[in-house]
Amino acid sequence: MTSDDSRSVTGAMARARETAAAAMTGAATAWLSALNNDQLSLAAYASPLDPAAETERLRWFFTPTEHGGLALRNQDAHQQSLAMQLVATGLSTAGFSTVTAVMGLENVLDQVEGWGSHWGRRRGRDPGLYWLRLFGRPGHDRVWAWRFGGHHISLNYLVIDGRLVAATPCFIGADPARTELLGSTLSPLQGAEDAAHQLIRTFDAHQFRQALLHPSAMSNIVSGNRPQIRHGDTMMHLRDLWRGRFSDPTLDKLVGDIDRQAEASSGYTDADHARVAITFPPKGVSARDLNEDQRHLLRRLLTRYTGRVPQDLAAAHDAHYARDSVLDEVHVGWAGSTDEGEPHYYRVQGPSILIEYNNTQRNGNHAHSVWRDPRSDFGLNELAAHRQRALPR
């Protein structure tokens, strides 16, 4: 790619970030204006420049714990519509459809579990328990952020000076990962699973040996809900993925039991977890060692994650990874079986991207997927640079 092409990609990315930020600002302002004072006390926090607000912003979850903010079930129909309009500004059409399908699966999961899960609430599996929170005043503060999350969803965005600077961590899960409809199947993350299988099945023996992280898959994604990814991170256990501990000893024991059962099923020891730890430089086979057809499949896999954001921004990401020099730095790792429907895990990692996909629970019918930026999740680098520019000289 020539220097002119590189500048074109950079320019397209900048324009897409400005367009996305403008849409978010309008939708966030409309939602806030529809809330009463009690709702605002939950929905609106201080700007990320405030240390206490920033501490809360960096706490994110994908378990059915309290995510923080104003829950959909505590809003009237008009307010819910405005909330979902804001959520839609952070996603492509396909991304929004995927997120809302996952939310609806809470009803299916409730039935799968015999209507028995409660997690200390009247209803434990509740499509109304998705929380929206803003940090700062859109349209007024130079720095503001928002997040939307609940069970199996966590969307996180940061806007600085009218530009969307971060859209990660971006977590989407699905339980059940596949459920039967009348004449078809609902599988929100099937595209991410199929694209990886298509790629891994093209690997020759040498490529697969390089890619193989472990013969069996761990019970969850490795990066967990850490605010930042560091060299040597190993899988976080379920107890640490909640907002604190349960005061009810029965629920506290349940979380521990679920984790122990998952670990027993995976067969992992501390040594196994160390073997699949996140590292810099990455483990796995390098895109440099893939042929052109395989590189095409890898790019297609990347779009299953970068395609979650608004269309113009997704297109800019596509153009970024169309550059051979950028793709060359990406590595692919795999753990577990390559057979359809069997428990497995994969990782795609480069300097500014970490993708993890895990489908091991419920015998390979409970999927977790996350897209992260090791260099600047939550826009931390851009926020630090903004603070530095604001210092008196």
With CA atoms as reference, report the closest residue to 31 among 149, 171, 138: 138
Predicted TM-score (pTM) of this structure: 0.97
Q: Residues 40-84: pLDDT tens digits?
A: 999 999 999 999 999 999 999 999 999 999 999 999 999 999 999
3-class DSSP state for residue 25? helix
Region for residue 146 given its phi and psi (left: phi exceeds 0; alpha: psi -120 to 50; beta: otherwise): beta
Per-residue pLDDT of 139-160, as tens digits, reads 999 999 999 999 999 999 999 9
Tens of pLDDT, residues 155-213: 999 999 999 999 999 999 999 999 999 999 999 999 999 999 999 999 999 999 999 99
162: left (phi over 0), alpha (psi -120 to 50) or beta: left
How do the domains of the chain map onto residue ranges? 3-390
| Band (2; pLDDT cuts 50, 70, 90) | low
What pLDDT is stored for residue 3 in this prediction?
A: 63
- For residue range 236-256, list pLDDT tens digits in order: 999 999 999 999 999 999 999
Does residue 164 contact residue 24 with C-beta atoms inside 8 Å?
Answer: yes
The reported pLDDT for the residue numbered 46 is: 98
